[in-house]
């Protein structure tokens, strides 16, 4: 999407989008725009409403924002308009930005419009959204220069669109190799380095926990390492490490899932969020060094699959008793965290994963679960999440939960076997492999990465985490 600032509609012909803050249904003064007047009896700016008027070959879409608006709601409103009203868009579209819009509100509106181009019909014969035409240009009507906010919004949306596609595409398309190739291609395009450890290289490195998960699949696991550095490096440059769960499909392994398996293509949504964030970080040229690891594997059922009661050896050198093969995400994350800490030594670490149904049972579909012993990181992540509508809520990491991962035969076990505190015991398991890193946070996003909304009939990706991780890093 290209944009161009215009001063008025004198030479314009097409569709005009006009955001309107709520007045009152009883207001005697109509909403006026240009030479149009809309009676409050038919439209007064109520949130989630819109009203179409045609005049002089132009289509005017008045968009209700309510009395006040938050970032996520504003983004959703504009995504809805772009998605549901695309048939009314002419070749030319203009957006009239209210003078009271902040830079963040401009960002939300523009990125929402671009997200509205997304369709789940990846294998259908469909016409592309008009916004996706290479020659399309969105005209911006504003008394201020919002160029920086608009450019940033487009970059945010593009990264989120990439993650939506990665998570929504089927597992016979998005294999570990597909994700590795995606990272290599985007590295060339956006300017970050990518190293991929395949099966043999992972064996040489001793990534035993990671390799155990992928043993039952014909699709070779890929341990993806991404390194981004700004063009100007200094000694004071902060270094952040990211780890994302990249399980391209999760059958549960030999502890096979008995419900909901059809949605398990989403089990790489944490890895997808890291991929999208790395694209965005490089696109924005953030002045921070970032190293990301996404262990990509498929947890399948086969004669070669790892077994419940196996004892495997992780990259850290610690042994792990396998209680449940469906607790596989924490295994690949354990090796990812250990590898990151030993070889790259970042100051801050955030891992992100669709890890447990327990987090969904606790927080539903409104927030991800946050685990950390660093209060400054906890506060920063929650503040950032609240500001963009990707909310987090902190759960405890008390040492009393250590007993849930204690094993008689190995250093640690991968599952407590208890029907309670599953998200916490999983977090304690990951903490075991952080070597008491002072600035580590774990995000369990099982309830917010994939779900239902107005934009499709079936469950689908949300791209949760792309903007959250980027904005957290941007504000360190």
CA dihedral 400, 403, 404, 405 (to 10 degrees): 120
Run of H or E including 168: helix 147-168
Residue-level length of the chain: 476
Q: Measuring CA to CA, which residue among 116, 15, 46 is closest to residue 75? A: 116
Active-site residue, 257 included: yes
3-class SS of residue 5? strand
Q: Which residues contact 408 (CB under 8 A, 6 or more apart)?
A: 321
Q: How crowded is residue 133: how many other Cβ atoms within 10 Å of its Cβ? A: 11
- Per the rule left: phi > 0, alpha: psi between -120 and 50, beta: everything else, 146 is alpha
Active-site residue, 173 included: no
Catalytically annotated residue among 330, 413, 428, 471? 330
Run of H or E including 137: strand 137-141
Catalytically annotated residue among 238, 257, 402, 459? 257
- Report the chain's C-alpha Rg in angstroms: 24
Question: What are the beta bridge partners of residue 461?
Answer: 450
3-class SS of residue 461? strand
Token pair 């029907």 in the structure block, residue: 419
3-class SS of residue 410? coil
Beta strands in 231-310 (DSSP E): 239-244, 246-250, 289-299
List Cα–Cα distances, 392 to 41, 262, 368, in angstroms: 40, 26, 5
- Distance CA(457)–CA(332), nearest Å, equals 32
DSSP-derived letter for residue 320 is E
Q: Are 101 and 141 in contact (CB under 8 A)?
A: no
- Active site members: 257, 330
């Amino acid at each position: 999407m290209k944009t161009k600032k215009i001063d008025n509609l004198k030479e314009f012909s097409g569709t005009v989008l006009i955001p309107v803050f709520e007045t009152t249904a009883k207001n005697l003064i109509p909403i006026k725009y240009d030479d149009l007047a809309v009676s409050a009896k038919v439209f007064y700016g109520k949130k989630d409403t819109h009203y179409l008027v045609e005049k002089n070959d132009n289509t005017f879409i008045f968009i209700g924002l309510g009395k006040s608006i938050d970032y996520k709601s504003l983004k959703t409103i504009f995504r809805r308009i772009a998605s549901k009203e695309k048939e009314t868009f002419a070749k030319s579209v203009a957006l009239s930005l209210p003078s009271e819009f902040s830079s963040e509100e401009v960002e939300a509106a523009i990125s929402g419009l671009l997200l509205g181009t997304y369709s789940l019909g990846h294998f259908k014969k469909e016409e592309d959204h008009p916004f996706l035409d290479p020659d399309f240009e969105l005209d911006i009507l504003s008394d201020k220069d919002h160029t920086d906010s608009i450019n940033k919004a487009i970059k945010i949306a593009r990264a989120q669109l990439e993650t939506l596609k990665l998570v929504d595409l089927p597992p016979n398309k998005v294999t570990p190799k597909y994700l590795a190739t995606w990272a290599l291609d985007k590295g060339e395009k956006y300017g970050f380095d990518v190293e991929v450890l395949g099966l043999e290289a992972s064996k040489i490195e001793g990534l035993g926990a990671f390799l155990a998960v992928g043993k039952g699949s014909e699709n070779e696991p890929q341990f993806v390492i991404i390194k981004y550095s700004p063009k100007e490096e200094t000694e004071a440059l902060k270094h952040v490490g990211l780890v994302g769960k990249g399980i391209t499909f999760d059958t549960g392994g030999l502890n096979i899932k008995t419900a909901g398996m059809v949605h398990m293509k989403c089990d790489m949504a944490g890895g997808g969020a890291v991929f999208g964030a790395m694209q965005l970080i490089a696109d924005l040229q953030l002045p921070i060094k970032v190293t990301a690891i996404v262990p990509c594997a498929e947890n399948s059922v086969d004669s070669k699959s790892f077994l419940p009661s196996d004892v495997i050896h992780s990259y850290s050198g610690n042994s792990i008793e396998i209680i449940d093969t469906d607790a596989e995400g924490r295994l690949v994350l354990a090796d990812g965290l250990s590898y990151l800490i030993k070889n790259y030594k970042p100051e801050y670490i955030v891992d992100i994963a669709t890890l447990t149904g327990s987090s969904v049972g606790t927080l539903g579909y409104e927030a991800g679960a946050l685990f950390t012993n660093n209060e400054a990181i906890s506060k920063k992540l929650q503040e950032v999440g609240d500001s963009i509508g990707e909310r987090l809520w902190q759960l405890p990491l008390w040492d009393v939960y250590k007993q849930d991962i204690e094993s008689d035969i190995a250093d640690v076990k991968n599952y407590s076997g208890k029907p309670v505190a599953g998200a916490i015991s999983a977090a304690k398991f990951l903490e075991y492999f952080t070597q008491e890193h002072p600035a580590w946070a774990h995000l369990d996003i099982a309830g917010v990465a994939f779900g239902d909304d107005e934009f499709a009939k079936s469950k689908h990706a949300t791209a949760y985490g792309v903007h959250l991780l980027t904005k957290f890093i941007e504000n360190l």
